[in-house]
Structure 1
Amino acid sequence: MAPYPLDRARTAFVASLDGLSGLLDHLDDDALHARSRCRGWVAGDVLAHLHLGLAEMLAGFPARTTQDADTDLATYWSAPLPGAEHPEWAHVRFARAVAAAYARPSGQLEHVRTTVRGLRRLVSDLDAGYRLEFQGHVLEVSDFVATWVVEVVVHHLDMAVELSGVPEPPASGLAVVRDTVVRLTDDPAALDAWDDRALTLAATGREPGLRPVLS
Structure 2
Amino acid sequence: MRDLSFAHAPAVERLGRQIRQTVDAAASLTDLQLLAPSRCHGWSALEVVVHLRMGLQEMVVGVAPSDDEPDHDAASYWASHPDDRDDDPVPHILWLRRVASAYGRPSAAVRHLEDVAEGACVAVRTLQEGQVEFQGKYLRSGDFLATWVVELAVHQLDLGIDGDEPVGLDWARTTVEAVADADLPSGLDDRSAVLVGLGRVPPPAGIRLSGSYPVSL
Taking structure 2 as the reference length, the TM-score comes to: 0.86
4+ long deviations beyond 4 Å: none
Amino acid at match of 1:27: L
Alignment identity in percent? 35
Structure 1 segment 77-116 matched on structure 2, within 5 A: 77-78=78-79, 80-86=80-86, 87-116=88-117
Query: Given the alignment, which residue of 5, 9, 12 partners 1:10?
Result: 12
Report the count of equivalent residues. 206
Structure 1: how far apart are the matches of 2:195 and 2:82?
25
Change (3 A) 1:26 1:132: same
How many angstroms does 1:53 deviate by? 1.2
SS, match of residue 19 in structure 1 = helix
Could you say which residue in structure 2 is the equivalent of 1:142?
142
Does the Cα contact within 8 Å between 1:9 and 1:176 map onto a contact in 2? no
Could you say which residue in structure 2 is the equivalent of 1:37?
39
Structure (1 or 2) with the greater helix fraction: 1
Could you say which residue in structure 2 is the equivalent of 1:181?
176
Structure 2: how far apart are the matches of 1:196 and 1:12?
17
Structure 1: how far apart are the matches of 2:193 and 2:114?
28
Q: C-alpha offsets along residues 23-68 of structure 1, whole Å, 9 cap, x if unaligned?
A: 132123212112211222211011111211111111123x111111
Determine if the alignment matches structure 1 residue 19 to structure 2 residue 21: yes
CA RMSD of aligned residues (A): 1.9
Could you say which residue in structure 2 is the equivalent of 1:198?
192
Query: Given the alignment, which residue of 198, 212, 215 partners 1:213?
Result: 215
How many angstroms does 1:2 deviate by? 7.5
Structure 2: how far apart are the matches of 1:187 and 1:154?
19
Q: C-alpha offsets along residues 56-93 of structure 1, whole Å, 9 cap, x if unaligned?
A: 111123x1111110011101111x21121142111101
Amino acid at match of 1:84: D
Amino acid at match of 1:195: D
Structure 1 segment 143-182 matched on structure 2, within 5 A: 143-159=143-159, 161=160, 163=161, 167-170=163-166, 172-182=167-177
Amino acid at match of 2:164: E
Change (3 A) 1:2 1:173: closer
Does the Cα contact within 8 Å between 1:4 and 1:73 map onto a contact in 2? yes
Does the Cα contact within 8 Å between 2:176 and 2:198 map onto a contact in 1? no
Does the Cα contact within 8 Å between 2:34 and 2:46 map onto a contact in 1? yes
How many angstroms does 1:206 deviate by? 0.6
Structure 2: how far apart are the matches of 1:100 and 1:137?
32
Query: Given the alignment, which residue of 44, 54, 59 partners 1:57?
Result: 59
Does the Cα contact within 8 Å between 1:17 and 1:120 map onto a contact in 2? yes
How many angstroms does 1:4 deviate by? 1.4
Q: Which runs of 5+ in 1 are unaligned?
A: none
Structure 1: how far apart are the matches of 2:172 and 2:38?
20
How many angstroms does 1:207 deviate by? 1.8
Could you say which residue in structure 2 is the equivalent of 1:131?
131
How many angstroms does 1:187 deviate by? 3.6
Structure 2: how far apart are the matches of 1:153 and 1:2?
17
SS, match of residue 138 in structure 1 = strand
Taking structure 1 as the reference length, the TM-score comes to: 0.87
